[in-house]
Amino acid sequence: NAGVTQTPKFQVLKTGQSMTLQCAQDMNHNSMYWYRQDPGMGLRLIYYSASEGTTDKGEVPNGYNVSRLNKREFSLRLESAAPSQTSVYFCASSERRNYGYTFGSGTRLTVV
């Protein structure tokens, strides 16, 4: 089925470890996004890529880096994980402004 695919679905890290969350979309969308979801706070934008070859910081970028590998793929990297990064991470893509997003099913990350 067409959509946004995130891997892994679950991950437990120790403080200081690094990892990369993968995201791929097969809808030929130009824009891709990474959000984190924390209880009572809705979703907050970490980084986004308006088009292939560009990336920009969102509301909460500290401790993260991203790579827009090609039009399909947008990865999120935690270089040195901290307990404050325990969250559910969602990748999303959109075709153009004001069309809303298509979301992946999320990655539940726990940092101990």
Give contact residues for other proteins (rule: CB under 8 A). 4, 31, 33, 35, 40-45, 48-50, 56, 58, 90, 92, 94, 96-106
> Which of 19/43 has CB closer to other proteins?
43
DSSP state of 73: B
> Which of 62/100 has CB closer to other proteins?
100
> Which of 14/96 has CB closer to other proteins?
96
Q: How far is the CB of 82 from other proteins (least distance, A)?
A: 23
Tell me if 24 sits within 8 A of 91, measured CB to CB.
no
Q: Looking at the chain, how many residues does it have? A: 112
Q: What beta strand segments (E) does the chain contain?
A: 4-7, 10-13, 19-25, 31-37, 43-49, 56-57, 64-68, 74-78, 87-94, 102-103, 107-111
Across the strands, what pairs with 4?
A: 25
> Which of 56/79 has CB closer to other proteins?
56
Q: How far is the CB of 26 from other proteins (least distance, A)?
A: 15
Q: How far is the CB of 12 from other proteins (least distance, A)?
A: 17
